[in-house]
Structure 1
């Protein structure tokens, strides 16, 4: 038998086996690590006080900063069913992401799973895990994350942008001063809904028409109700299902949402089958690809497309709302953006995807908007596969991390004048360095937003056309508008803007 590998000790006295020494060092290091129970954090009643007395219930993005100042960049918070490890520095966020495993889980959504089980429907990206999640995600990625593939959606998005221009013109002309649109975010929500639906269902829903079809209004209402009720349902234990009305309304909203999506998908499937029977080529875009590739069941397509719709509306509408709000309040930035758009697309020529490549300031405006107002102020990672070491803490499997993007993207050590709208900071001509994990508005890694490229194209094309046609000014009294947290970061009150026709 061969002896164990060995070497002399540091002082030459005796032999210390290498494997034993390594084990001793590893054991010693592990003993130094703290656990989740060692983390600082607020008591339950302190959290209640902050949320309902100090008014942070709808400003949880600001609560991130308060708690970071009190407890440091990593702390624990517990409220209702939630037990979270909050991480609020780019270095620590990087540590979490780099240990997320091959099949990361963003967050546990037991109430979504409960609904799908209740109705016998297939799981989608938000509920399924592991190999099944990876299989579905790989199929969905193919036509949404490759730039060359996304370019094919530009013509339909351009049509929707033109409808947005007609809608803005219709509203401003009918306003008392013939310039003001009183709730810009509401109109941009309709634009976002129409845009993503045109791609996912390959049909127009009429969200931007003067008289919106009743079926479309019900669809929009179902999306809003489901997302709003989702925040409420998850807080209450399951035994309350028969006592409180929230679960019943949540199920009804899901039924309306899923049912309408299924009807639209089945309609397209019938069209494709009829084309095939006639021997015609089955032309189409994203939905045609999903229905034709035979990699997802129809039930999986119903759920996945519904989830893509849920994630694809607010990203576009909220970011555009905040961008227009800041452009109206900063004439210098607006003039610079207009000059760039006009230089590339003179005489109001409609921009195409090649034109967008020559508009760095346009992209800087969108980036800066997303930095100040990340669509989701906090993201999640659930350690389903393995334990994780962050800073000097060891966390077991099934730990829920809350990645505090809002406070990190407002960090003065990462971004000079962090609370100021400064698109110039993103231009290559500027000497500007920040940690790569201090700005990840669409997430990062294999769990990054699948619709990122589509959302960016929608925002770029819409901003270009709006700049070509209008000078934008603050409406009403021009008072500052704060953000509030409603899962997403949204305006606390309607954004009113004046749209003045350019000569």
Structure 2
């Protein structure tokens, strides 16, 4: 995906049927029942079901709940119904696990939606005197950044400007997979997630500041390796620092220190590449049209500290989210060779005239978009998002939720609701195609890129990277599971990631 689960760059990466994906909508059918109008005298938090603070803390810490927050959603929905309360460490939160009720929350959040007042990401920025980016800014500051980045990144044809660099990185990934497969008698590539992580970092760096980091070379540069480790630490420690009461921060300071040190490294790495790019462009006489996000922000005369904050947060958001979604997509396609072969045939037909999977060609492959949509339904990058309505109490079903209360929107459980998705645990991309047997589902049932004012500004860039990587891989390889490999389950690490390594065979076509 903590009180401030950051929406992915695409995914994060990853909404989340959204019109932006260009997937034909399934036949219109009656939606699931809407909640009843709020009663004349709505019930308060004291009457809302849910575990007490001690039970919540036990679930999170003693039972490994930080790794299984997505499963706790399912358990909470089954035990307490569509709305219940709980605690994330010291923070009281109201969980909402019904699409119609999620829509009700989003309708009431106002023009300046708030994720949380207690984000450890924001606290790090404040302690270090750093500018907040779109993921941590709030209020009017957030609105200004959202308008700016939305204008730069959400234009309908924005991805076309980055298609060339991303295609080049995807080509490097294919060559890397070919090299690794050649070294194994069964053409097995162990831990495919690591290779896709490197692709994601290389791809988003080419988009943000036109840098090539050497991630897909045989010897990855040391500073890139250290940066990858820092990103991992940020995601691992985010949930822990959010769940720990402040008293435990003083008694056990190491998690908070690791969290801040990792963020410091991420900022320093991004700042170095941003300033290198700005200097290169200045030496040529100015940003001109610009070929990366840093160029576009500089052309808008955005202050350097604001560029640092926004590009750094976009960089972090665009790595785990893309790599996780690619890992799950290839994992499921390897286990469903019929779907994989159908997608290969559509890709071959689409690129027959150009020979290359251009953005225009891939727009003619509806099954490609359906595969990504189905992957994100099963494995939403952000398994839960959150809102805080700061200025008024709001109705959520039969309850009145006081202002400033953290509200957790449980996307993992709604996207696997069997009332909305037949065979909810099965990988069925055809459900997203016209005439593919779609089921009733209100829009908030599956929201990998969010909805409304807080939806992901990097959606088009994420789709570009996902579609390019999948297309180039599937045009050149048949992807098969590891012989004897077992089922891989997801776990929560701020974002939803595979619990075990995914090992796949890449057989040349």
- TM-score with structure 2 setting the length: 0.88
2:179 pairs with 1:182: no
Distance 2:91 2:70 in 1: 17
In the alignment, the residues of structure 2 paired with residue 113 and residue 365 of structure 1 have an alpha-carbon distance, to the nearest angstrom, of 35
1:309 & 1:356 partners in 2: Cα distance? 25
Q: Aligned partners of 2:152, 2:471: CA distance in 1, in Å?
A: 24
**How much has 1:54 moved relative to structure 2?**
5.5
Structure 2 partner of 1:373? 379
Distance 2:64 2:230 in 1: 28
Moved more, 399-408 or 228-237: 228-237
Query: Does the alignment pair 1:86 with 2:86?
Result: no
Query: 470, 492, 497: which one pairs with 1:490?
Result: 497
Q: List per-residue Cα deviations over 1:127-185 (Å, max 9, x = no partner).
A: 3211111001111112211121221110010011001001111211122x250001011
| 1:267 is the counterpart of 2:264 | no
Q: Which residue of 1 aligns with 2:362?
A: 356
The SS at the match of 1:188 is helix
What is the alpha-carbon distance in structure 1 between the residues aligned to residue 234 and residue 70 of structure 2?
22
Say which of 142, 149, 158 aligns to 1:149: 158
Matches for 1:278-427 after TM superposition, within 5 Å: 281=288, 283-294=290-301, 296-346=302-352, 349-427=355-433
The question of whether the paired residues in 1 share the 8 Å contact of 2:133 and 2:310 is answered with: yes
Say yes or no: does 1:218 pair with 2:208. Answer: no
**Change in CA separation of 1:78 and 1:283 when aligned onto 2, cut-off 3 Å:** closer
The alpha-carbon deviation at position 56 of structure 1 amounts to 4.2
Secondary structure, counterpart of 2:329 in structure 1: helix
- Does residue 436 (structure 1) correspond to residue 443 (structure 2)? The answer is yes
In 2, Cα distance between the equivalents of 1:387 and 1:301? 35
Q: Confirm or deny that 1:458 pairs with 2:465.
A: yes
How far residue 245 of structure 1 moved from its aligned partner, in angstroms, is 1.6
1:22 maps to what in 2? none
Q: Name the SS of the counterpart of 2:307 in structure 1.
A: helix
Residue segments in structure 2 that go unaligned for 5+ positions in a row: 1-37
Aligned counterparts of 1:134 and 1:159: Cα–Cα separation in 2:
34
Instruction: Tell me whether 1:499 sits opposite 2:494 in the alignment.
Output: no
* Alignment check: 8 A CA contact 1:241 1:248 kept: no
Distance 1:394 1:227, change over 3 A: same
Which ranges of structure 1 fall in alignment gaps of 5 or more residues?
A: 1-28
Alignment deviations for residues 289-346 of structure 1 (CA, whole Å, 9 cap, x no partner) = 101111x321111011111111111221111111111111111111111111112124
> What is the Cα deviation at residue 348 of structure 1?
9.3
Partner of 1:9: none
**Aligned equivalents of 2:118, 2:282: Cα separation in 1:** 36
Larger CA deviation: 124-133 vs 464-473? 124-133
Question: Which deviates further from its counterpart, 38-47 or 180-189?
Answer: 38-47
Residue 68 (structure 1) shift: 0.8
Any conservation in 2 of the 1:109–1:126 contact (CA below 8 Å)?
no
> Are the equivalent residues in 2 in contact too, given 1:348–1:468 (CA < 8 A)?
no
2:147 is aligned with 1:138: yes
- TM-score calculated relative to the size of structure 1: 0.89
Choose from 75, 78, 81 the match for 1:66: 75
Aligned to 1:193: 201
2:235 to 227, 244, 252: 227
Find 2:210's aligned residue among 181, 202, 209.
Answer: 202
Greater Rg over alpha carbons, structure: 1
Q: In the alignment, is residue 471 of structure 1 matched against residue 465 of structure 2?
A: no
- Correspondence 1:161-172 to 2 at 5 A: 161-172=170-181
Q: Which has the higher contact order (CA 8 A, sep 6+)?
A: 2
Cα deviations by residue, 1:344-403 (Å, 9 ceiling, x for unpaired): 124992211111121011111111110101011111111123321111211221011100
Q: Which residue number corresponds to residue 25 of structure 2?
A: none
**SS in structure 2 of the partner of residue 327 of structure 1:** helix
How far off is 1:226 after superposition?
A: 1.9
Tell me the residue number matched to 2:129: 120
**Contact 2:133–2:306 at 8 Å: present in 1 too?**
yes
Distance 1:302 1:283, change over 3 A: closer
Contact in 1 for aligned 2:161/2:291 (Cα 8 Å): no
For residues 408-444 of structure 1, give each alpha carbon's deviation from its aligned partner in whole angstroms, at most 9, with x where no partner exists.
0000110111111101101012342321111111110
Aligned to 1:19: none
Inter-partner Cα distance in structure 1 for 2:449 and 2:442: 16
* Distance change in 2, residues 1:54/1:216 (3 Å): closer
- CA distance in structure 2 between the partners assigned to 1:347 and 1:30 by the alignment: 61
Distance of 1:138 and 1:71 partners within structure 2: 39
